Amino acid sequence: MSPIMDSSSSDTSDVLDQSPVSTNPSTPPATSTIDLPKLARESATEILPVVKVKNICCVGAGYVGGPTAAVIAFHNPNIRVTVVDKDVGRIRKWNSQHPPIHEPGLNEVVRVARDGTNATKVFVEGDFTVEMPARKQNLFFSTDVAKCVSEADIVFLSVNTPTKMTGIGAGAATNMVALEGATRDIAIAAKPGAIIVEKSTVPCRTAQIVRDTLEVHRPGVPFEILSNPEFLAEGTAIKDLLNPDRILIGSSRTKAGLAAAASLEEVYSAWVDRSRIVTVNLWSSELSKLVANAMLAQRISSINTVSAICEKTGADVDEIAKAIGRDARLGSKFLKAGLGFGGSCFKKDILSLVYLAQTLNLEEVADYWMQVITINEFQRNRFVKRVVANLHGTLIGRKISILGYAFKKDTSDTRESPAVEVVKSLLADNPSEIAIFDPRCNPEDVKDEIKRLFATTGLKLLKPDGPIEVYKDSYEACHDSSAVLILTEWDQFRYPPLKEKDSIFHKDAPSTVAPTKPTLGRTPSELDILHMMTSSRHTKPSSPSPNNSTPSSSTPQTDGTELAPPLSTDPLNRYLPEPGCADGCRDCERGQVEEVIANENLEWERIAYSMRKPKWVFDGRGLVDVEGMEKLGFRVEVIGKAAGGSRSRLHGFDADR
Ligand SMILES: NC(=O)c1ccc[n+]([C@@H]2O[C@H](COP(=O)([O-])OP(=O)(O)OC[C@H]3O[C@@H](n4cnc5c(N)ncnc54)[C@H](O)[C@@H]3O)[C@@H](O)[C@H]2O)c1
Ligand SMILES: O=c1ccn([C@@H]2O[C@H](COP(=O)(O)OP(=O)(O)O[C@H]3O[C@H](CO)[C@@H](O)[C@H](O)[C@H]3O)[C@@H](O)[C@H]2O)c(=O)[nH]1
């Protein structure tokens, strides 16, 4: 029986007050000062038993659907989780050795849940032998949308909701085509009583559209709709999903709505403490997501306005961020000045908020939020102007190198990347070459994207016809260059370099659920095991791994040196074999040596050696120490620091004025 399919499931009388949630879009839902989370749990469990969810289907196998489903499956071994997508290529990748997106920790989580594991015994140094049971696979990827939806107790809607580009509301409103299409497919296939969860970011009151669509296709069939927006950030998706600040669940305030919310809460409570699960009404939940993104982006624009002041006064934006971030009311996060925010979310979600305000005739509110985007564009333009001004106003005959093409570190996502806009602006000044390197973006994918982005212009921009070349080697990209531009905050580009990063499955931050057993007890949690697997310092495998695919010996390099062998990916011999890849898989072609190179810190000394004088570095992400770099022979300009590097401090010279 599905979670709300008992005798009272069709009872929609309001358990909190006598005013049911309005179905009229122009009437706001009733507000309440009642402790909704508490009541939701109590009422739901009193009136409708929360039936154990056995089958979840996630529609949309993208940056959100894939990782979210993987973590739900990882922590709920008894729930069958299937991610469906109509994009055959994407599903094929999820079923291969290379998930279609790069996220630290994703492969480990996917391998455990998608492939299942061996039972293993391991000796933990200084402790004892831990026995780890085998587990069956419970994460699946499929293109059979109708079949997988029809079997699910809970269906997540995790499809794309970009900005509408034509027609009424173009450039601001949300394009609902994918969401509507997926909702229609779900409406036709879902079993009666299924819970439909909006995971996608949607305009406020979208649940009403979902409800109407269900009613059109399946009149009279009971379905409950929840809003459960996702707050993960790319590059830290797995860390964020494993340790969420909060899980937000919006539901209608009926018995059935509250029971559905409680069913979803059960799924999350496998690893998230219930105190972190916030339940609100549907419209608050939908709107909270837009507001959270708008306010995060607003902080970035705020600090970026300060960076412009710093460059002209000699104040240092990082010092200011440090100083103000100590104020507990302000907090230290999202105060890193840079090239401005990119990515598929911030701009489109602010635009969605702006559009909402406009449609509500709140022009001042719309203008206020629009300014966050205006400042973002101002910041990017300022940076390019600074580059061109320092190169005496012309790029003709010069090679300009770009380090970082992804919109932020630790992801290969290039959607709305600041780098794309910078490249467009640089092109206008006719450099002889724009050389692009990103440690995680496959050069062929970047080239494909550039072709697509400029397709309408008819211009051939890629070498040999045009000035753009994409490199898989950072040193080649910077060779003979007049200026290196750091556009993505990859740690690999820092100077001085960072020390080693911690495992994201670190045992000190294993889960938000209070541990009921010792962290390394005889029945360790899945997270304990992943921590052990990813930190070989703590573990010693009981026997050599038959399935370990990483090379065990060092790799000879063309310059005669040897790369150290990569750390074993399966020190506990737990993984089962991965599925094979299709012929011509680009990621296989990239190979393991390139994987090692992608993780290596840049040797700035080597770059200095091969650049053209005066060896300009324009740091758009505040990653390098100016004086240290100057000692290597570079001339450095950093966002938010006085123009002219340490020269300005010595001579009062300001190149930007
Ligand atoms: N990317 C993020 O970091 C992030 C974080 C939080 C929330 N969100 C929100 O989550 C949603 C999804 O974002 P994303 O980045 O994962 O998008 P995405 O484009 O990476 O993935 C969406 C997937 O949905 C598939 N799809 C579309 N219509 C379909 C249908 N009818 N049936 C089956 N599959 C269909 C597409 O083929 C695509 O693979 C958006 O609303 C976004 O705003 C994104
Ligand atoms: O102090 C900062 C922090 C971020 N950025 C930039 O801002 C952009 C967005 O970064 P981030 O928010 O970390 O990544 P997203 O994946 O876009 O995540 C945002 O958008 C998601 C999609 O809605 C939300 O789920 C997340 O909570 C929200 O952080 C990137 O270009 C960053 O380089 C800065 O310039 N300075």
Residue nearest to atom 6 of ligand 2 (CA): 341
Q: Point out the annotated binding site for NAD(+).
A: 85, 90, 161, 201, 234, 348, 415
Q: Is 296 in the pocket of ligand 2 (CB under 6 A)?
A: yes
Confidence check: pLDDT of 387 > 70:
yes
**Least confident range of 82-91, 97-106, 203-212:** 97-106
CB-based burial of residue 650 (10 Å sphere; 0-12 exposed, 13-18 middle, 19+ buried)? exposed
Q: Is 178 in the pocket of ligand 1 (CB under 6 A)?
A: yes
Q: How far is the CA of 337 from the centre of ligand 2 (A)?
A: 12
Q: Which tokens sit at 249?
A: 């669940």
Residue with the larger pLDDT of the pair 143 and 534: 143
Query: Which pTM was predicted?
Result: 0.87
Provide the pLDDT confidence category of residue 648 given band limits of 50, 70 and 90.
low
Residue nearest to atom 44 of ligand 1 (CA): 64
Q: Is 68 in the pocket of ligand 1 (CB under 6 A)?
A: no
Q: How far is the CA of 232 from the centre of ligand 2 (A)?
A: 9
* Sign (positive or negative) of CA dihedral 388, 392, 398, 403: negative
Q: Is 63 in the pocket of ligand 1 (CB under 6 A)?
A: yes
Q: Which ligand is nearest to the CA of 244?
A: 2
The CATH class given to the 57-116+133-166+173-291 domain equals alpha beta
By most ligand atoms within 8 Å of CB, the mutation choice from 341, 378, 623 for ligand 2 is 341
Q: Which ligand is nearest to the CA of 229?
A: 1
Distance CA 138, CA 602 (A): 40
Confidence check: pLDDT of 324 > 70:
yes
Which CATH superfamily includes the segment(s) 293-498+602-651?
NAD(P)-binding Rossmann-like Domain (3.40.50.720)
Q: 293-498+602-651: same fold as 57-116+133-166+173-291?
A: yes
Residue ranges per domain, the chain? 57-116+133-166+173-291, 293-498+602-651
Q: Is 181 in the pocket of ligand 1 (CB under 6 A)?
A: yes
Residue nearest to atom 28 of ligand 1 (CA): 178
Q: How far is the CA of 232 from the centre of ligand 1 (A)?
A: 13
CA-417 nearest atom, ligand 2 = 31
Are residues 626 and 638 in contact, defined by beta-carbon separation less than 8 angstroms?
yes
CB-based burial of residue 656 (10 Å sphere; 0-12 exposed, 13-18 middle, 19+ buried)? middle
* Residue 403 host element (H or E): strand 399-403
Q: Point out the annotated binding site.
A: 85, 90, 161, 201, 231-234, 289, 334-338, 342, 348, 408, 415
Q: How far is the CA of 272 from the centre of ligand 1 (A)?
A: 24
How large is the average pLDDT for residues 639-655? Answer: 66
pLDDT of amino acid 573: 80
pLDDT of amino acid 112: 94
Residue nearest to atom 5 of ligand 2 (CA): 341
Distance CA 76, CA 95 (A): 20
Residue with the larger pLDDT of the pair 528 and 40: 528
Distance CA 311, CA 654 (A): 9
Q: Which ligand is nearest to the CA of 346?
A: 2
Are residues 223 and 195 in contact, defined by beta-carbon separation less than 8 angstroms?
yes
How large is the average pLDDT for residues 3-20? Answer: 31
Residues 6+ apart with CB under 8 A from 166: none
Q: Point out the annotated binding site for substrate.
A: 231-234, 289, 334-338, 342, 408
Q: Is 545 in the pocket of ligand 1 (CB under 6 A)?
A: no
Residue position matching structure tokens 């770059």: 607
Q: Is 200 in the pocket of ligand 1 (CB under 6 A)?
A: yes
Give the tens place of pLDDT for each residue, 524-583: 677 877 777 776 544 444 444 444 443 334 444 444 444 444 446 777 788 898 887 767
Q: Is 493 in the pocket of ligand 2 (CB under 6 A)?
A: no
Q: Which tokens sit at 648?
A: 């300005």
Q: How far is the CA of 322 from the centre of ligand 2 (A)?
A: 19
Question: Annotated active-site positions, please?
Answer: 345
Q: How far is the CA of 369 from the centre of ligand 1 (A)?
A: 24
Confidence check: pLDDT of 361 > 80:
yes
Residue position matching structure tokens 């403490």: 273
Closest CA to 262 of 38, 487, 24: 38
Are residues 352 and 174 in contact, defined by beta-carbon separation less than 8 angstroms?
yes
Q: Is 644 in the pocket of ligand 2 (CB under 6 A)?
A: no
Q: How far is the CA of 196 from the centre of ligand 2 (A)?
A: 27
Q: Which tokens sit at 599?
A: 């993780």
Indicate the pairing of strand 120-124 with strand 129-132: antiparallel
Are residues 9 and 48 in contact, defined by beta-carbon separation less than 8 angstroms?
yes
pLDDT of amino acid 15: 28
Distance CA 535, CA 333 (A): 27
| Mean pLDDT score of the chain | 85
Give the tens place of pLDDT for each residue, 45-95: 444 557 689 999 999 999 999 999 999 999 999 999 999 999 999 999 999
Q: Is 299 in the pocket of ligand 2 (CB under 6 A)?
A: no
pLDDT of amino acid 558: 43
CB-based burial of residue 243 (10 Å sphere; 0-12 exposed, 13-18 middle, 19+ buried)? middle
How large is the average pLDDT for residues 265-293? Answer: 97
Are residues 44 and 258 in contact, defined by beta-carbon separation less than 8 angstroms?
yes
Q: Is 335 in the pocket of ligand 2 (CB under 6 A)?
A: yes
pLDDT of amino acid 27: 37
Q: Is 282 in the pocket of ligand 2 (CB under 6 A)?
A: no
Q: How far is the CA of 574 from the centre of ligand 2 (A)?
A: 34
Q: Which ligand is nearest to the CA of 418?
A: 2
Are residues 489 and 624 in contact, defined by beta-carbon separation less than 8 angstroms?
no
Residue nearest to atom 30 of ligand 1 (CA): 182
Residue nearest to atom 19 of ligand 1 (CA): 160
Residue nearest to atom 33 of ligand 2 (CA): 408
Residue nearest to atom 25 of ligand 2 (CA): 231
Q: How far is the CA of 235 from the centre of ligand 2 (A)?
A: 9
Q: Is 187 in the pocket of ligand 1 (CB under 6 A)?
A: no
pLDDT of amino acid 568: 61
Distance CA 584, CA 594 (A): 17
Confidence check: pLDDT of 8 > 70:
no
Q: How far is the CA of 66 from the centre of ligand 1 (A)?
A: 9
Give the tens place of pLDDT for each residue, 579-629: 877 676 667 776 655 666 778 899 999 999 999 999 999 999 999 999 999
Q: Which ligand is nearest to the CA of 87?
A: 1
Q: Is 163 in the pocket of ligand 1 (CB under 6 A)?
A: no
Region of 416 (left: φ > 0; alpha: ψ -120 to 50; beta: rest) is left
How large is the average pLDDT for residues 289-295? Answer: 98
Indicate the pairing of strand 562-563 with strand 555-556: antiparallel
Q: Which ligand is nearest to the CA of 155?
A: 1
Residue nearest to atom 18 of ligand 1 (CA): 62
How large is the average pLDDT for residues 29-45? Answer: 45
ipTM of the complex, rounded to two decimals: 0.99
